[in-house]
């Protein structure tokens, strides 16, 4: 990610995706090092704070069309935006 997303856009994305807030976080070594309590990730504001501080933790790519968004993993999930 070249530039981190601003807080307002992150909040809007979380409102648009059909996932829970915790599903927007990439798990792995970078996440593990932070020692974040996984149960805290049910709170959207915690997820926004975490992604703001550590943009590389956000699941991506994210496709946005109108008022809908999907995490395009796998890539064919992007087609869900076109099915509506």
Q: What is the pLDDT of residues 22-57, one digit of tens each?
A: 999 999 999 999 999 999 999 999 999 999 999 999
Report the SS3 class of residue 79.
helix
Tokens of 80: 């869900």
User: pTM score > 0.85 for this model?
Assistant: yes
**pLDDT level of residue 84 (50, 70, 90 thresholds):** low
| 61, 50, 57, 34: CA torsion to nearest 10 | -170
Q: Are 58 and 25 in contact (CB under 8 A)?
A: yes
- Residue ranges covered by each domain of the chain: 7-59
Q: Are 72 and 81 in contact (CB under 8 A)?
A: no
């Amino acid at each position: 990610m070249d530039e981190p997303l601003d807080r307002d856009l992150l909040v809007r994305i979380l409102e648009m995706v059909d996932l829970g807030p915790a599903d927007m976080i990439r798990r792995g070594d970078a996440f593990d090092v932070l020692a974040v309590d996984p149960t805290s990730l049910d709170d959207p504001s915690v997820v926004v704070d975490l992604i703001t501080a550590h943009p590389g933790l956000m699941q991506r790519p994210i496709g946005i069309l109108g008022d809908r968004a999907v995490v395009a993993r796998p890539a064919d999930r992007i087609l869900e935006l076109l099915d509506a």
